Structure 1
Amino acid sequence: MIRPTSINATLLFFISLTFPLLQLSSCASETDLLKEIGEAAEEPIAISNAKITNFSFLSVDNNGLTTDIIGTLDENTKTVYVELDPLLIPIEKLVPTIVLSPGSTVSPTSKATQDFSHERTYTVTAENGTKETYKIIPSIIGNICTSNLQDSGPIKVSANNQRIENLYIRTSNQHGIEINNYTGVVISNCIIEYTGKFMGIKFTSADNLTIKNCSIKYVNAPAKGPLEDADRNCIEGIGSQNIVITNVRVEDGSTGIRLNQCDNSILKYIEGHNMRGPFPRGQLVQYDKCIGGLLENFSVINDRDIAWTEDNVSIYKSGGQQIKKGLIVGNNSPTGVGVLFEDQNTEGARGGYGGIVEDVDFLEMGNGVVSSVEGSKNVSFTRIRAKQIICGELGQNRGKSTSNSLIFGAFGTTANTGGNSINDCIVFNSCNPTNIVWPEHNFDVIDYRTDIDFEPRNPIVLNFNCD
């Protein structure tokens, strides 16, 4: 019989042998666990971003490019927009440079030659295998016509940053494109034919709007003379800032481009034909209560037996405009002039005094070439050239000039306060050589010559052919 004390001793003996073994087992498990955690922490975390961060065509990779083409990326729609001119570069064989989020790859690869005459698709794959698909949409500059555009009726913009592209829009019952209270809209590669009492493009409160590479024509105009009313402009904008209009042709509208309270606009490469009025319209461009603005590289050709003009470029109650590098041909208004600054100090005027007309040629002007009148002042007329001035009948029985074919005008301002200047200008073979500057006291500088002929600037001729 075993005594109880012996049983206790035996149990203590086994416990003393087992406990160290348990401790060793526990320590080994903890070490392994810590090792596993450490190894897991050292493993790189896969990035789930699959993004294109920049898409471009670099001049070093593409023959014909003199400057890099940087795409416009819309990450929300996974779309990249690029502008390409097939007359300058072979758009069927372009080499893109694609910058990606860290660790991502793309197919087709960056620097792989592709055909960008139409939409392309690129797939981006992140480290963890997630994928995103991007569309590359080319805007083909100078390569639009009815055969390669999608037919469309009139459009009303419905979102900020909306893009309207590659459309042939025809309308007779509303404006071709209408924008109200949306910003960042882009209108590109469109032909718009409109008629009735409507506009080709009309926008209100549409800051940062871009209109480019478009032809806008009022159709069903009479064979000659004015339209039925003055509310049929090719483009009209109200209360919109930082507008860019470039590579645009306007034809047969009441006015080509009319801007009302649109500050700091940029208009470049504007081609105009036969502005139709009637009064008070008839301009290629009119600024109405606008602050600043640039009109550069432009022309308007008015057939005096067809068009019904007023001022060719009107700066009304506006200040700071720069009118540069242009050609103006044809004015049959007995009261209108080539470029007019007026009413810079009257109620509602904006922009203060002053402006520039520089490197602009004028032919077949009737009532006047350039003027700063009725409270306007501090306007600089530099390298203006004028010839073929008209003293007789202006066309379509509109009568004769009311100013006796004045060239430089500065009336309606208190004597000796005009501050205007005539710098290095040419007036050749004027029909009224005694009526060049009036009144002289409102010009601080009068510098012009009458004994030099000149070859006029070439008109802007935009390419809207498919060839």
Structure 2
Amino acid sequence: MTSRKDGQVIENLDIYSPHGNGIMVLHKGVIVRNCRIRHGLGSGVFAQGAAGILLEDLEVDHVGAPPAGAGPSENYINIQLESCPDAILTRVKASRGASNVYVVNSPGTRMSLLELHDARGPFPRGQNVQFNRSPDSSLEEFSAENGPTSWTEDNISVFCSDRCMVRRGLVFYNNSPTGAGVMLEGSFDCLVEDVDTVQQGNGAFSAVPQGDVGSGGCSFIRCRSRDTYNEPRDGRDAPTSNGLSFYTRISEGAEKHTVRDCCVYALANPRNIIWQRAAVHAGWSIRRRAFEPRLPLRLAFNWQ
């Protein structure tokens, strides 16, 4: 299915696409809603130059993924948006994609009520959600769940995307030697708030420069991490950070990051909680205490 005009509504479809993209959107203001999409050699939804696209009440599954481990191609993404400013995604379930949602050059993207499962890679994919050069975007009310069949990198990645928000979510399971639960990379003035990470190895929360692109002024508020690991997992190497929980660095002259009202519990390496402390405002607070993580999101659709 390919869009034909601006403002088109594509709805109430059950799409099986073993070759190519399930739905391709090339026009502005298109609405895609109430669809189930199963795809193999392609993306579930691929949109390019589709400003203001609305994706609503969708279930997207990469049925071309192997039973376990890295997927066959970094390009087989469940939802891929390129140059689609002001996109909206709500009530979306996505599973087994190279990345489940990948947003590039799409400022102002808004995502809410996302149920995400089993990201498969291979590198450089492996994220449940990645914002790439998409400033002023947000992800809220979500769960991003992986497991032993997954092939992860960063679970949630904000890459070279300033002023983004990640709020009220659950991030579960990572088996990458270098991936983090929530990674703010080469991004300034971002907010991560009320997010729980479970079973992370290389880091739960990170805010760092990326190459020549700096980092600073990011905030982690009421973020929690528990049940971390620090050994090889699922046939992949052990975490390269020695089980670090919060990884914070800033570029020269940048504002320091903020870490406030956070907590950790049941850490594989309880002595490796935060580094570098010099990159964080004084008065940072990370307590050690037990907590029950947020419940995962479960969406129900008409076809279930």
Give TM-score, length-normalised by structure 2.
Answer: 0.96
Determine whether 1:169 maps to 2:15.
yes
Displacement of 1:388 after TM fit? Answer: 0.1
Kept in 2: contact 1:410–1:418 (CA 8 A) = no
> What does residue 242 of structure 1 align with?
86
**1:179 aligned partner, one-letter code:** V
Give TM-score, length-normalised by structure 1.
Answer: 0.63
**2:171 aligned partner, one-letter code:** I
Structure 1, gaps ≥5 residues long: 1-154, 345-352
> What does residue 36 of structure 1 align with?
none
Which has the larger share of helix? Answer: 1
Decide which structure has the larger Cα Rg and report it. 1
Describe the shift of the 1:227–1:361 C-alpha distance in structure 2 as closer, same or farther (beyond 3 A).
same
Kept in 1: contact 2:215–2:254 (CA 8 A) = no
Determine whether 1:194 maps to 2:29.
no
Quick one: which of 29, 40, 56 aligns to 1:184? 29
Determine whether 1:369 maps to 2:204.
yes
Q: CA RMSD in A?
A: 1.3
Displacement of 1:285 after TM fit? Answer: 0.8
**1:437 aligned partner, one-letter code:** I
Tell me how far apart the structure 1 counterparts of residues 267 and 195 of structure 2 sit (CA, whole Å).
Answer: 17
> What does residue 164 of structure 2 align with?
321
Displacement of 1:206 after TM fit? Answer: 0.4
Displacement of 1:240 after TM fit? Answer: 1.1
> What does residue 51 of structure 2 align with?
207
Kept in 2: contact 1:364–1:390 (CA 8 A) = yes
Instruction: Determine helix, strand or coil for the equivalent of 2:278.
Output: helix
Instruction: Determine helix, strand or coil for the equivalent of 2:175.
Output: coil
1:416-462 per-residue CA deviation (whole Å, 9 max, x = no partner) reads 84510111001112111111010100000411101x21111111100
Kept in 2: contact 1:272–1:300 (CA 8 A) = yes
Quick one: which of 198, 216, 229 aligns to 1:390? 229
Determine whether 1:437 maps to 2:274.
yes
Determine whether 1:380 maps to 2:219.
yes
Quick one: which of 261, 265, 269 aligns to 1:424? 261
Tell me how far apart the structure 1 counterparts of residues 198 and 184 of structure 2 sit (CA, whole Å).
Answer: 19
Quick one: which of 212, 230, 237 aligns to 1:399? 237
**1:343 aligned partner, one-letter code:** G
Kept in 1: contact 2:250–2:256 (CA 8 A) = no
Kept in 2: contact 1:376–1:413 (CA 8 A) = yes
Tell me how far apart the structure 2 counterparts of residues 301 and 239 of structure 1 sit (CA, whole Å).
Answer: 27
| Pairing 1:144-155 to 2, within 5 Å after superposition | 155=1
Instruction: Determine helix, strand or coil for the equivalent of 1:300.
Output: strand
Kept in 1: contact 2:216–2:250 (CA 8 A) = no
Instruction: Determine helix, strand or coil for the equivalent of 1:172.
Output: strand
Structure 2, gaps ≥5 residues long: none
Tell me how far apart the structure 2 counterparts of residues 230 and 291 of structure 1 sit (CA, whole Å).
Answer: 23
Tell me how far apart the structure 1 counterparts of residues 24 and 75 of structure 2 sit (CA, whole Å).
Answer: 14
Displacement of 1:465 after TM fit? Answer: 5.0
Describe the shift of the 1:328–1:391 C-alpha distance in structure 2 as closer, same or farther (beyond 3 A).
same
> What does residue 60 of structure 2 align with?
216
Kept in 2: contact 1:185–1:210 (CA 8 A) = yes
Aligned residue pairs, count: 299
Q: Which has the higher contact order (CA 8 A, sep 6+)?
A: 2
**Would you identify which runs of 4 or more consecutive aligned residues in structure 1 move more than 2 Å?**
411-414, 464-467
Displacement of 1:466 after TM fit? Answer: 4.6
Displacement of 1:259 after TM fit? Answer: 0.6
Instruction: Determine helix, strand or coil for the equivalent of 2:281.
Output: strand
Displacement of 1:338 after TM fit? Answer: 0.7
Determine whether 1:448 maps to 2:286.
yes
Kept in 2: contact 1:417–1:442 (CA 8 A) = no
Instruction: Determine helix, strand or coil for the equivalent of 1:272.
Output: strand
Tell me how far apart the structure 1 counterparts of residues 29 and 250 of structure 2 sit (CA, whole Å).
Answer: 41
Instruction: Determine helix, strand or coil for the equivalent of 2:171.
Output: strand
**1:404 aligned partner, one-letter code:** N
| Pairing 1:229-268 to 2, within 5 Å after superposition | 229-268=73-112
